[in-house]
A and B are shown apart, each in its own frame.
Chain A
Amino acid sequence: MSESTSDTMSGAIQHSSQGKRMTPARILLYAVLVLFAIYYLLPLYVMLVNSFKPLEEIRGGDMLALPQTWTLAPWQSAWSTAQIGVQATGLKPYFMNSIAMVIPAVLLSTILGALNGYVLTKWRFRGDGIVFGLLLLSCFIPFQIVLIPMARMLGILGLAGTTSGLVLVHLVYGLGFTTLFFRNYYAAFPTELVRAAQIDGAGFFRIFGRILLPSSGPIIVVSVIWQFTNIWNDFLFGASFADVDSVPMTVALNNLVSSSTGVKEYNVHFAGAVLAALPTLVVYIVSGRYFVRGLMAGAVKG
């Protein structure tokens, strides 16, 4: 699968006659495209607009209207005072839990993925196809299949309910993807360069550090973004294995929204949802192109 989603690529159809004139057909085309843009933006708009409204205004009816009185109170509440579970701590400590979980998990899985990809392309050995096949297949398993043994294993390792436990879980189940990224990237890297360096007496790590790593920038970005997005957005592992001190943001948000006690503070829920979405959205806005490449590589194997 090509990675050509860049703006500079020309359309599949090179139509000269219709060029840039605004025919009725083209106006319709733009109208449809803008309509879909509105559809995709609508939920984000709803979340944002209603997170700045007092609760009575939301109850009053018009979810699409701009706030009549703007207020930051829902944001303050969502961040630092809202009731999550039994404690009124807001989402802040859970945001920090997620950060503490994401950073080591992303770094470790990317480093190991890079080394694995390097071995699988430049130091091939008998049976490496099977190793890669097993790594690749592990990307697709439904995680329900590992929940029970993983809960037990984390208990045995003394990692139950800890952030380190979640880091281990995300590292293990992210390895397939990161290895895939680097393997496909390094497969296109000229093997002759590696062989030449070998003849010159360079060792395994020296070749990696001096020859492959300097040109690995793009794929490192892809891997980091992919892992960051997936791990930040994970809910199942967080809900299954986390304890008070390690509950990640997604699980806390769900607790906030689905708690059945008291008044439903929709505005606080929306502010919380935006807070949970913010890190991945920022990453997407800053480096959307790499995000798409990761998606493509994750979607189309081989």
Chain B
Amino acid sequence: MKERLQLWVPKLVLGPSFLLILFFVYGFILYTGYLSVSDSRMLPSYGFVGLENYEKLWGLRHWTGSLKNLAIFGSLYIVICSVLGLMLAILLDQKIRAEGVLRPIYLYPMALSFIVTGTAWKWFLDPGIGLEQTMHSWGWTSFEFDWIKSRSNAIYTVVIAAVWQSSGFVMAMFLAGLRGVDPDIIRAAEIDGASRARIYRRIIIPMMRPVFLSAFVVLAHLAIKSYDLVVALTGGGPGKATELPATFMYSYTFSRNLMGIGAASAIIMLIMIFSIIVPYLYSELRADKQS
């Protein structure tokens, strides 16, 4: 009897967590999925309207604009973080004596809330009191930097702040990758007379492919989820110049009371993230099993 019970204990322990996830994650996804084909406006409502909300969604300049912003922001964010991260990792890997001091400095922004980051950059980039004004007071009176107030350039200030926050983290990923390279391979190349730059270009960087992939997946999913930073930095403005899908979803659902359209936009966000994450996790878990 007691042994029978012992067999059930593990499942009873795991059970509550599993049910919580099943209900609060996957059940909720289904519920939001249903709302996206319902006539919900201010409150959830269950009248079926087919794909009407999706048709309306794709007809909205606000939505297509936020997707365009995400494309600009996301691609710059991923590329700049990866390049900067790899570069810093390689530089730090040259037996730098102060590495123990520098590495934590590069990485600390990752510990901050995006609201803090947004606040700091919001005022630093504000032409009235921030960088521009500082340059003026230093005597460079023709200096202009008003991107944060400009409809066409504000999205780039989101990139600046986001890169500041995440690039150190990508650096840490690459550094761990570099430290995992077998020193014998490098020694062999050195004996063959290859220059250091060549060793990096031809041997080490190609070996970083899995790190590039991980960095891409992490950064891409962070970009799609980006919400707090935009709220704190620009509030989506000026106008709608820095609206992203996440801010769109929030304002349509909770401020404009068009919950059906808000739910539809959330489903699109989920599809975007899953199309990146699911193949990645699948291959990782499979590789895990084989090893």
Contacts and interface: CB of A to CB of B under 8 A. Distances in A.
A147 B225 CA distance: 13
Q: Tell me whether chain A's interface is mostly helix, strand or loop, or mixed.
A: helix
A170 to B, nearest CB: 11
B22 to A, nearest CB: 7
B200 to A, nearest CB: 8
A200 interface: no
A144 B250 contact: yes
Interface stretch (A99-107, A213-221, A292-300): A292-300
A107 B271 CA distance: 32
Interface in B154-201: 164, 168-169, 172-173, 175-181, 183, 186-187, 190, 196, 199
B18 interface: yes
Interface string B33-57: 0010000000010000000000000
B225 A280 contact: no
Contacts of A288: 104, 107
Contacts of B117: 43
Nearest to A50: B123
Interface stretch (B60-68, B74-82, B128-136): B128-136
A284 B194 CA distance: 40
A31 to B, nearest CB: 11
Contact of B181 (A12, A37, A44, A60): A12
Contacts of B228: 235-236, 250
A13 B186 contact: yes
A284 B44 contact: no
Contacts of B242: none
B227 A235 contact: yes
**B interface, over-half SS:** helix
Given A12-B179, A14-B186, A40-B164, A148 B262 contact: yes
B14 A120 contact: yes
Given A63-B131, A236-B227, A141 B284 contact: no
B167 to A, nearest CB: 9
A116 B25 contact: no
Interface residues of B, number: 117
Q: Name the residue among B18, B100, B278, B280 with the largest chain A CB count within 10 angstroms.
A: B18
B153 to A, nearest CB: 19
A143 B225 contact: yes
Contact of A63 (B94, B134, B254): B134
B93 A147 contact: no
A20 B215 CA distance: 32
A229 interface: yes
A146 B32 contact: yes
A64 interface: yes
B17 A40 contact: no
Contact of A11 (B94, B123, B168, B190): B94
Contact of B25 (A10, A118, A147, A172): A172
B25 A146 contact: yes
Contacts of B273: 140-142
Contacts of A269: 119, 123
A148 B44 contact: yes
Contacts of B131: 63
A144 B10 contact: no
B71 interface: no
A90 B204 CA distance: 52
A33 B96 contact: yes
A133 B18 CA distance: 11
Query: Top 6 A-B pairs ranked by shortest CB distance?
Result: A123-B10, A61-B137, A233-B113, A302-B284, A284-B111, A43-B120
15 contacts: A11-B93, A39-B164, A44-B108, A47-B116, A119-B14, A134-B25, A140-B221, A140-B274, A144-B246, A176-B21, A232-B113, A257-B232, A258-B235, A274-B116, A302-B284
Interface of A: 1-5, 7, 9-15, 20, 26, 29-30, 32-33, 36-37, 39-44, 46-47, 50, 58-64, 112, 115-116, 118-120, 123, 125, 129, 131, 133-138, 140-150, 152-153, 171-173, 175-176, 179, 203-205, 229, 232-233, 235-236, 239-240, 250-251, 253-254, 257-258, 266, 269-270, 272-274, 276-277, 280-281, 283-285, 288, 291-292, 295-296, 299-302
